[in-house]
Amino acid sequence: MGKSPPYAVRVGDYLLPKPLSGHPALELCNTLAGWDDPPERRNEWLTGYDHFAVWAEYTELVERRQSGSDDALLTEVRALRSAAYRLFRHGDATAFEVVAAYANEANAHRRLTRADDGSARFRLPAGDDRRLPLLAAALAVADLLDRPERATVRACPGDGCGWLFLDPRGRRVWCSMSTCGNRAKMRAHAARRRG
């Protein structure tokens, strides 16, 4: 297998976007690149349900992936992702209803569990339910909506990007300086040389 691009990480047989946003909800949004481009020019990372299941395990939303093919479930994952993106980037009120429906479904499945140290927390149960990664992703989106950091979400202006990230200091421009930032610098330099 060849070397992975600087914005990607190889997990088993899958290439996944490198985590750089600061929150799993935004990592979900970043499984598509080119949000502002026409659909045919976008880069889809989640090409199948297996790909999403590997991503959910890699981002530690679930402890164990549910494998197999499930086109209907992948369609739901993409609907949640799209709604989360519209909500975080544009404040789209209609997107909130989509996110809320998935988060409420996830909440209905959570159970209070006790840890070895005596503490307790609500968690999705482990098991073979193929919806668990989707529900875990919905809870991640709800978690960020419940945090003040949601006000610091920014979108990368890089060509073909649009990835989201937290910018608590208000100084970050690019998803990654080593990818979108450097490409923009190279284009600006080439334009200055031509001019």
- How confident is the model over 150-172, as pLDDT tens digits? 999 999 998 889 999 999 999 99
Global pTM value: 0.88
Which two three-digit tokens encode residue 68? Answer: 């197999």
Among 65, 59, 51, 67, smallest CA distance to 137 is for: 59
Concatenate the DSSP letters of all residues of 68-93 into one string: S--HHHHHHHHHHHHHHHHHHHH--H
Is the Cβ–Cβ distance between 80 and 28 less than 8 Å?
yes
Rg (CA), the chain: 18
Q: Could you count the other beta carbons within 10 Å of the beta carbon of residue 19? A: 15
Span 64-93, pLDDT tens digits: 766 777 899 999 999 999 999 999 999 999
Give the per-residue pLDDT at 130.
Answer: 86
CA distance 190 to 184: 10
| Most confident residue range from 8-17, 55-64, 145-154 | 145-154
**Binning pLDDT at 50, 70 and 90, where does residue 27 land?**
very high
Classified by CATH at the fold level, domain 8-194 comes out as: Jann2411-like fold (1.10.3300)
**Single-letter residue type at 136:** A
Locate the domains of the chain by residue range.
8-194
